[in-house]
Amino acid sequence: MKRALTLLTTAALAGCSMAPKDVRPAAPVPPSWPVGDSYLRESEATLPALSWREVFRDARLQTLIEQALVNNRDLRVAAANIAAARAQYQIQRGAQLPQVDASLGITERRGNVTNVGNGLGTGNTGNTGNTGGNVGNVGGGVRTNYSTQAGITGFELDLFGRLASLTRAQQETYFATEAGARATRLTLVGDIATAWLTYASDASLLAVAQQTAKSAEDSVRLTRARLEGGVAPRTDLRQAEQTLATAQNDVARQTSALAQDVNALRLLAGSEIDPALLPASIEEAAPTIAAVPAGLDSSILLRRPDVVQAEYQLRAANAQIGAARAALFPRISLTTVLGFASTALSSLFDGDAFTWQAGGTGSYSIFRGGAARANVRLTEAQQQAQLANYERAIQTAFRDVANALAVRGTIDAQLRATQLQEEAAADTYRLSEARYRGGIDTFLQSLVSQRSLYAAQQQLVTVQFTAATNRVNLYRALGGDSQLEVTRQGPQPVNAQGPAGSTGG
């Protein structure tokens, strides 16, 4: 019996796990990025950890990002979710430990008046005794009892690892919530940079529209003078007025867009922003966004926050399978109560007042209509769904990076071509305007060249914006910014390990 009790106690303390072993599935993506005419050639090396300060080098943009990391409401929601997940983990972890309760009680009771014997006989010793008993009951007062006790209530021996599996599932869920918060931070940094560049692009478009409007005003003034002098037809004036109206419309539209850009930045930053932190043009802002260094390996995607989150969710699903399997076996619980009880407070802790009680219960469901085994199949199906989600997260991350690299491989050539187009359009307009003023060319030729220049200038701003935001998108697609990782707090399990690129576990 002693040996059996020792083995039982050891098994209860050590426990066992019926959860499947955590095995990370092979990444469902090629081992390297695509290559070809549309892609840059990348060496097969591991990308070092990035920092948003290395990519976003403008001090004004860095200030906005710091402001957003402190005040953004989405981050506050994410922080609250982390705190809630940590508390849920601690609650579930506490179920593995004995629950010790203590109580102190005081009970007062008044005795009932009862007649024992008739009390009427004389000279009878028994009657006299009965009479005395009656007198004693009549004189009974309030009786006070004092008690105190402490004990372990309902401590389940986790022989089959049910509670351990549930605790581990909650722990992995907590870690997944942290990874989700890091993904929120990564998205926020990218959104701030994109909104900052959008403001710069709209500022450049506004400047182009204002410049075109001023040039169109000069054309309208000149054409009206030529019309009044009988040199130009009325159609020339009307065409010039159309160009002026288009430019004025664009000025009004871009002015509204700038105001909306400021509103977007204010929302992301979580507070008012200093106008001095805003860029003047896309030409000024774009060069401050540094390119992510070459040398990328597709295994870097395992560090992306959404991929890390999906892996933690997969691990939690594995643990749920272990808990469901363990629920098929009996549950054994122990209870122990130690205490003192006395009618006098002064003698409450005397040896004669000591009481104790110990017991154990075992329970096993004989028939539940197959619900327990169905629960196992349910957790296994959920685990397969999480496995598919994990693989899809990796594939989605690979697509995001591949798309960003495809744009990065051709955007420089596109930018050079657009710059040449803008320069040629500007020169053509200057020549056409001079020839029109000299009476060599018609106004139509000058008008066409002016519109071509306007479109080329707008296209150049768009391509510059695309080139800058492509570097932002590549930073965001790769993930792995060590400055955005969450520092964990609270109790940590021994020998817990997290996925690659995580902060531990």
Residue 145, SS3 per DSSP: strand
Q: How many CA atoms lie within 13 A of 502 on its CB side?
A: 24
Q: Is residue 454 part of a domain?
A: yes
pLDDT-derived band at 140 (thresholds 50, 70, 90) equals low
Whether 8 is covered by a domain: the verdict is no
* Domain annotation covers residue 360: no
245 domain residue, yes or no: yes
pLDDT tens, position by position, 374-413: 988 998 898 899 899 888 988 888 889 889 888 988 999 9
Domain carrying residue 323: 25-96+168-330+397-484
Report residue 1's pLDDT band, with 50, 70 and 90 as the boundaries.
Answer: very low
Distance from CA of residue 255 to its chain's centroid?
35
Number of folded domains in the chain?
Answer: 1
Euclidean distance between CA atoms 193 and 54, whole angstroms: 13
DSSP 349: T
* Span 180-222, pLDDT tens digits: 898 999 999 999 999 999 999 999 999 999 999 998 898 888 8
pLDDT: which is higher, 30 or 449: 449
Percentage of the chain modeled with pLDDT above 90 = 30
Instruction: Express each pLDDT in 48-102 by its tens digit.
Output: 457 888 889 999 999 999 999 999 999 999 889 989 998 988 888 888 888 888 8
Specify the pLDDT at position 289: 95
- C-alpha 360/C-alpha 344 separation (Å) is 32
Quote the pLDDT of residue 295: 59
Tokens of 474: 């590549």
SS (H, E, C) 112-128: CCCCCCCCCCCCCHHHH
Does residue 224 sit in helix, strand or coil? helix
| DSSP assignments along 241-260, one per residue | HHHHHHHHHHHHHHHHHHHH
Whether 476 is in a domain gets the answer yes
| CATH number (domain holding residue 86) | 1.20.1600.10
* Token pair listed for 423: 């320069």
Nearest Cα to 386, choosing from 216, 167, 173? 173
56 located within any domain: yes
- Does the residue 161 lie in any domain? no
Question: Between the ranges 13-17, 38-42, 192-196, where is the mean pLDDT highest?
Answer: 192-196
Rounded to whole angstroms, the Cα distance separating 360 from 337 reads: 12
For 87-122, the pLDDT digits (tens) are: 988 888 888 888 888 888 888 777 654 444 444 444
Residue 439 falls in which region: left (phi positive, over 0), alpha (psi -120 to 50) or beta: left
User: Where does the pLDDT of residue 164 fall: very low under 50, low under 70, confident under 90, or very high at 90 and above?
Assistant: confident
pLDDT of residue 9: 47
pLDDT band at 43 (very low <50, low <70, confident <90, very high): very low
Residue 271 included in any domain: yes
Q: Is the pLDDT of residue 232 over 90?
A: no
